[in-house]
Amino acid sequence: MELSLLMHKLFAATLLCILVCSAAARAAELHVRVVDHKGKLVSDAVVLATAVDPRNALRAKPATDAVDQVDKQFVPYVKPVFVGATVRFPNSDNIRHQVYSFSPAKKFELPLYGGLNAQPVVFDKPGVVVLGCNIHDWMIGYIYVSDTPFFAKTGSAGTAIIADLPPGEYAVRVWHPNLARTEDSTTRRITVTAEDSTSAEWQLDLKPNFRVPRVSGAGSAAYP
Amino acid sequence: MRSTLASLTTLTILSAAAHTARADWSLAAAASANHDNNVGNAQAESDKVRDYAASANLSLHELIPLGGGFGVAVGGDLAGEAFDRLDGLNNASISGALSLKKKWGLGAFAPWARGQFSLGREAYQDGYRDATLYRASLELGKRVDERWNLWVQYLFERRDASPAPQAVPGRSSDAFSQDGNNLAATVEFSMSERISLTAGFLWRHGDVISTSLVPWNYLYVAATAIAEDPTFGPDAYAYKLTGTTYGVKLGAEFFVTTHSTIGCSFQHLETQANGGNNYLKSVPEITWNYRF
């Protein structure tokens, strides 16, 4: 009887192992290319894939990430993170910055600091968090807090790859800081398979990127 | 010379103090070329002198954020201007400035105010115009959104020149010293991602200098000081008058990179001075700006 129970346990463990290994082996990739309405490649677009089948919605462990400040700019300009992520704000400039956000997804303020002296911030609510510096008004950056662990950001080639996707059907959407329409309006159903990587292309309507200028010859400005 | 040295010393000490406090350096350079259709501020058509001028400016400031929305900036400017025909107006200047800024709230759209005092020295090729400059200003501003930016400025300026040799017995010859009160309002609008438009409005009341080749009676009667002004010719005289100037300036800027712009502007000024000496002036200009 005991031997039979042991055999059952061994069988179950082996089966689980095979299932897990095969799932890993069968992980798929989604390749996305993003262009604007003129066909120009779009960088800094966040592509997000939400599993339609809840069994594929793996719970990822929230990560630790960083948004730096270099030459009075946020680097990177857009940072996607999974909900619950802890983000550090190192300051690589040899001056002090005062980072803040008014966004509903995360309101915070880091008092004037230099180097690595800022407290990390936990982003525990999905949504877009707009970053600013109260000293240098032209500094702007974005943290996209994703509600799905499957996301990627487009580079200068306008492409993003979401790897390690369990095969299945996904609701895929794209967000960009200058998106003219709602993020939901970009949603498409895409099925990814284990055999091949799946490719898709988005054409986004982007609005002009009006930003506070760093330099102005108009005679005066709020800086210095 | 003494005030120049004092400006430099103050600037150096304040810059050193700021540097030790992990300050924020801001180095900016600018160059421009303009055409002035009435350099001597003359009313009579026969007195009007037109000229082209090119100028360059180098500006170094340190911003020291103090917390609580306050910030101190200390710095200075080096500038030069060269005229095409009126060589005597070629000049170089140096100035030091100290300002205190307050921002009410966080972010680019928070209203702000800045008080500034500056001390400078101008040296001309024709040295009788050399002067020490004192300026005190108060600015208030608010960026309405990403596209609209507004600010107003009150500026008091004093130009302290050495009195010229007496030209008219019994009359002051301190024609190149001036006081002025200025009010200016500027609106900036981003037309596209790379082009911004500005409109500025100016009101100024104070001393103005009109130079004339003819000894017009109305100038002679109204002038508070008279001096020879050989820059404009051997028979030219400068008349210091009290006047009010109204001006408008329209400009456009193109953002070449995030650090630099090129632009053009057109300024039109109308002055009503004592004695009925009313004159007009128009100055189209092209500019280049760079901030490191």
DSSP string of B139-193?
A: EEEEE-SSSEEEEEEEEEEEEEEPPPPPSSTTS---TT-EEEEEEEEEEEEE-SS
pLDDT, position A1: 45
Nearest residue to B209 via CA among B186, B232, B183? B232
pLDDT, position A23: 44
Of the candidates B62, B75, B263, the beta carbon closest to that of A217 is on: B263
Give every CB contact of residue A172 below 8 A, 6+ residues apart in sequence. Answer: A30, A32, A47, A48, A49, A50, A187, A188, A189, A190, A200
- Give the span between the Cα atoms of B207 and A32, in whole angstroms: 67
- Give the span between the Cα atoms of A174 and A180, in whole angstroms: 12
pLDDT, position A20: 42
Average pLDDT over residues A159-169: 92
Interstrand relation of A28-36 and A159-165 (parallel, antiparallel or unpaired): antiparallel
Of the candidates A137, A210, A217, the beta carbon closest to that of B287 is on: A217
Q: Which two tokens stand for residue B239?
A: 């008349």
pLDDT, position B215: 82
pLDDT value at A57 more than 80: no
| Coil vs helix vs strand at B68 | coil
Q: What residues in B contact A212, CB-CB < 8 Å? A: 108, 143, 146
pLDDT, position A14: 46
pLDDT value at B244 more than 60: yes
Interface contact B141-A218, CB threshold 8 A = no
Q: How sure is the predictor about A39, in pLDDT bands with cuts at 50, 70 and 90?
A: very high
DSSP string over A61-101:
PPPEEE-EEETTEEESSEEEEETTEEEE--B-SSS-B-EEE
Torsion sign across C-alpha atoms A103, A107, A113, A118: negative
CA distances from B85 to A23, A86, B54, B123, B263 (A): 83, 65, 12, 18, 25
Phi, psi of B106 (to 5 degrees): -100, 150
pLDDT, position B139: 96
Average pLDDT over residues A73-84: 96
Report the b/e string of B96-134 with b at 16+ CB within 10 A: bbbbebebeebbbbbebebebebbbbbbbebebbbbbbb
Of the candidates A98, A222, A224, the beta carbon closest to that of B141 is on: A222
Q: How sure is the predictor about B102, in pLDDT bands with cuts at 50, 70 and 90?
A: very high
Q: How many CB pairs under 8 A join A and B?
A: 111
Q: Residue B188's closest chain A neighbor by CA?
A: A218
Interface contact B143-A216, CB threshold 8 A = no
pLDDT value at A101 more than 80: yes
Give every CB contact of residue B63 below 8 A, 6+ residues apart in sequence. Answer: A135, A223, A224, B23, B24, B26, B71, B72, B73
pLDDT, position A164: 87
Average pLDDT over residues B50-76: 93
Q: How sure is the predictor about B1, in pLDDT bands with cuts at 50, 70 and 90?
A: very low
Q: How sure is the predictor about B179, in pLDDT bands with cuts at 50, 70 and 90?
A: very high
Tell me the percentage of chain A whose pLDDT exceeds 90: 65
Q: How sure is the predictor about A22, in pLDDT bands with cuts at 50, 70 and 90?
A: very low
A17 vs B161 pLDDT, higher one: B161
pLDDT value at B20 more than 70: no
Give, for B280, the enclosing helix (H) or strand (E): strand B277-291
B196 vs A11 pLDDT, higher one: B196
Q: How sure is the predictor about B11, in pLDDT bands with cuts at 50, 70 and 90?
A: low
pLDDT, position A210: 86
Q: Which two tokens stand for residue A123?
A: 């982003």
